[in-house]
Amino acid sequence: MRETDLYPLLKKYLEEKGFFVQAEVNNVDIVAKKDDLIVIVEMKTQLNLKLIYQGCQRQKINDNVYLAVPRINNKKTYKERLHILRRLNLGLLIVDLKNETVESAIDPKEFIFRRSKNKKQKLLKEMDQRITNINIGGTTKKKLVTSYREKAIKIAYYLLNGEKTTKELRELSGIENSTQFLQKNYYKWFYRVSRGVYALTDRGSIDLEKYKDLFIELKLKE
C-alpha cells in the first residue's frame, strides 16, 4: 500500500462535501477549500509519530488539519492515538480501501482538560500512606509495594512465630484497621483459627521471605 492509494477516496470525500481539492500544494499533501473554510490533509500508511509531527507543523499554516490513514485494527492503539490527536487539536480521517469509504473519526477542535479530582486525591493518599520507598521507577511485570501491601506485610510478620488475636495484632502492628486486612485476606496470607484468632498460611510464610528487609525498614520507621 502507498500513500497515493489513499488520495482518490479522500479527494472524492472532500468534493462530495463541496470542497475544491488540490494535491501537493507547497509540500502539503491535500488542500481543500470551500468558501472561507480551508482544510489541510496529510496522508500516511500508518498513524505514526512522523505523521503526528507533520500535522502539528501544518497547524502553523491552518487551524483545520486532518491526518489520513488506512483503518487501524488494533483497538488499544487506535484509542491511544485518538486521545493524543484530541489533545493536539488534530482531526483524523480513516480510509477504508476495501469498502472505498472515508470516515471522519475526529474533527480538529480545542481540547478541554478535564482533570479528575478523585484520581488526584487517590494518588496523593497512596503517596502519603507509604512508609517505605522500595519501588523502582519504570518497573514492569513485578509486584509493587503499595501502602496496602506494606501494612499486610507488617501484620503478617507478627504471625511468623504463631497465631495471635486481632487485638494483639492491632497493638503490635499499630494498624488500627488490621482486622480488615485479616478478614479480606487479599494476598491469601492469613487464615482464621477461631473467633478473633488468626495464623499465617504456608503461602504467607513463603511470600514473606521476600520482604525481610522491608519489614526491618517498616520497624525502623515506627
Residue 27 is part of a domain; what is its CATH number?
Answer: 3.40.1350.10
Co-location of 132 and 195 in the same domain: yes
Over residues 45-103, the pLDDT tens digits come to 999 999 999 999 999 999 899 999 998 888 888 888 899 999 999 999 999 988 999 99
Q: What are phi and psi of 11, to 5 degrees?
A: -60, -45
Query: Can you give the residue range of the structural domain that contains 90?
Result: 3-106
Predicted confidence (pLDDT) per residue in 153-201, tens digit: 889 988 988 899 999 999 988 889 999 999 999 999 999 999 999 999 9
Q: Residues 90, 174: one domain?
A: no
Q: Are residues 32 and 66 in the same domain?
A: yes
Number of domains in the chain: 2
State the virtual CA torsion across 207, 209, 211, 215 in degrees, nearest 10.
120
Q: Write the CA distances from 103 to 60, 81, 91, 100, integer angstroms.
A: 25, 16, 11, 10
- Is there a domain that residue 67 lies in? yes
CB count, 10 Å around CB of 30?
23
Are 162 and 92 members of one domain? no
Q: How far apart are CA 57 and CA 213, in angstroms?
A: 52
Q: Which three cell numbers stand for residue 2?
A: 502507498
C-alpha cell at 11: 479527494
What CATH number is associated with residue 209? 1.10.10.10
